[in-house]
Amino acid sequence: MKLAYRSKLRAPVNLTWEITGLCNLSCTHCLSSDVRNSLSEELDFDECVQLIDELDRLKVFQINFGGGEPFLREDFLDILDYAHSKKITTCVSTNGTLLDDRLVKALKAMDLLYIQVSLDGACPETNNQIRGKGTFEHILNGIKLLAKYEIPHFSINTVVTRINFTEIGQLHELAKKYGAKTRLSRFRPSGRGREAWDDYHLDKTQLLEFSSFLSDHRDILTGDSFFSITSEDRRDLGLNMCGAAKMTCSVSPDGDVYPCAFLQDSFFLAGNVTEKSFESIWRESPALNMMRAIRIKSCQSCDRFSLCHGGCPAVAYFITQSLEHSDPECMTSLHDRAYPQEFNRGALRHVGTI
């Protein structure tokens, strides 16, 4: 990990690809603020194949497909098959509502597939408040099907908010009941999440409590979401820094490339794969090089620097409107001072800017 920090990788390790902007839900915390209503802005199948061919040539190991809801794309299974034919591992993030026997049987045959279903509460009231009326039962049906067909790499993903914070333990139990791993993601003030920030983000006490909970549950996956509050005993379980532009980047439905899915702002636009090769965007884009050059001076003397390297730039940017600030929700900030309330107003100032 330290090596990757010092030198630019020749290609990302993985790519987050929002394969469609279409979605059948309208979740209140969604990072996609501008869900598209037509297919006209999406890469077509041939363009997807071209991009996968290039990712294969660059030896990108993994594609994380999201959206929108990926399974709304009629050619999505063909896209998955094509990626797998190149030995690229895929991870699909779905809302689970479109899963049926036919689809899950098809997924069962894909050895290189990881699938995560989003569920934001252990009971209908909580989940539906975030993901929409009646969604809990539909999502649970999808989860039951994945369990029934014994899909091996299957997780239930929850974006941790003030709304569902007290149900995280129950969600973990629910996942175990269905043979799934629990994955907890950080709520960020990106997309529609900016409007929900004040109501949803964890307060100082909850963040500290949550950090302890993660320490007690090493089987819970967090990806790179929570390194800002990672304790020493989870050091070996995930990334210790933001991987945006260093290990990963994001492609939007129309082929725009950004440092990560939470930084889909024109300020961070690195290029479009229909106009330039992905390789040249990765290696030469000023936006990606800017992300690689970020050094948070105030963090470098911090005892926790080796655990988080300044935390999440997306949270810092949308809350403080600066890339020179450390993550406002970092553990050191939580211990040293009250949560800076003026940052909340910063998030609101960004509502509607994309």
Partner 1 sequence: MEMSQYVVHPAVQVRNEDFGLLFYNSADTRLTFVKCGNSIQLTSTDDGVTRLMINCGNERDKEKVWNILQNLSTKGLIIEAGL
Cα distance between residue 239 and residue 303, in whole Å:
17
> Using the rule CB under 8 A, which residue among 24, 28, 89, 231 binds partner 1?
89
Helix (H) or strand (E) holding 269: none
Q: Does 3 participate in binding partner 1 (rule CB under 8 A)?
A: yes
Cα distance between residue 20 and residue 31, in whole Å:
13
Is residue 104 within 8 A of residue 56, CB to CB? The reply is no
> Using the rule CB under 8 A, which residue among 13, 49, 208, 351 binds partner 1?
13
Name the one range near partner 1 by CB under 8 A: 7-15, 39-47, 122-130, 298-306.
7-15
CB of 156 to partner 1, least distance (A): 17
> Using the rule CB under 8 A, which residue among 112, 208, 269, 290 binds partner 1?
112
Torsions phi, psi for 200 (to 5 deg)? -105, -30
CB of 246 to partner 1, least distance (A): 12
CB of 181 to partner 1, least distance (A): 11
Cα distance between residue 55 and residue 78, in whole Å:
17
Q: Does 123 participate in binding partner 1 (rule CB under 8 A)?
A: no
Q: Does 17 participate in binding partner 1 (rule CB under 8 A)?
A: no
> Using the rule CB under 8 A, which residue among 16, 20, 32, 62 binds partner 1?
62
Torsions phi, psi for 244 (to 5 deg)? -60, 125
Cα distance between residue 178 and residue 192, in whole Å:
30
DSSP-H helix ranges across 178-253: 193-200, 204-216
Residue closer to partner 1, measured from CB, 88 or 117: 88
Read off the tokens for 244.
């945006």
CB of 11 to partner 1, least distance (A): 8
CB of 132 to partner 1, least distance (A): 30
Torsions phi, psi for 203 (to 5 deg)? -85, 175
CB of 116 to partner 1, least distance (A): 12
> Using the rule CB under 8 A, which residue among 11, 257, 260, 288 binds partner 1?
11
Cα distance between residue 13 and residue 22, in whole Å:
26
Q: Does 283 participate in binding partner 1 (rule CB under 8 A)?
A: no
Read off the tokens for 203.
């307060």
* Strands annotated E in the chain: 14-18, 62-66, 89-94, 113-118, 154-160, 181-186, 248-251, 256-258, 271-272
Residue closer to partner 1, measured from CB, 82 or 339: 82
Q: Does 292 participate in binding partner 1 (rule CB under 8 A)?
A: no
Q: Does 81 participate in binding partner 1 (rule CB under 8 A)?
A: no
CB of 61 to partner 1, least distance (A): 4
Q: How far is CA 52 from CA 46, 47, 79, 124, in A?
A: 10, 9, 9, 38
Residue closer to partner 1, measured from CB, 89 or 206: 89
Q: Does 351 participate in binding partner 1 (rule CB under 8 A)?
A: no
Cα distance between residue 306 and residue 316, in whole Å:
18
Q: What separation, in Å, do the N-terminal and C-terminal C-alpha atoms of the chain show?
A: 32
Q: Does 59 participate in binding partner 1 (rule CB under 8 A)?
A: yes
CB of 7 to partner 1, least distance (A): 5
Chain residues in the site for partner 1 (CB under 8 A): 1, 3-4, 7, 9-11, 13, 59, 61-62, 87, 89, 91, 112, 114
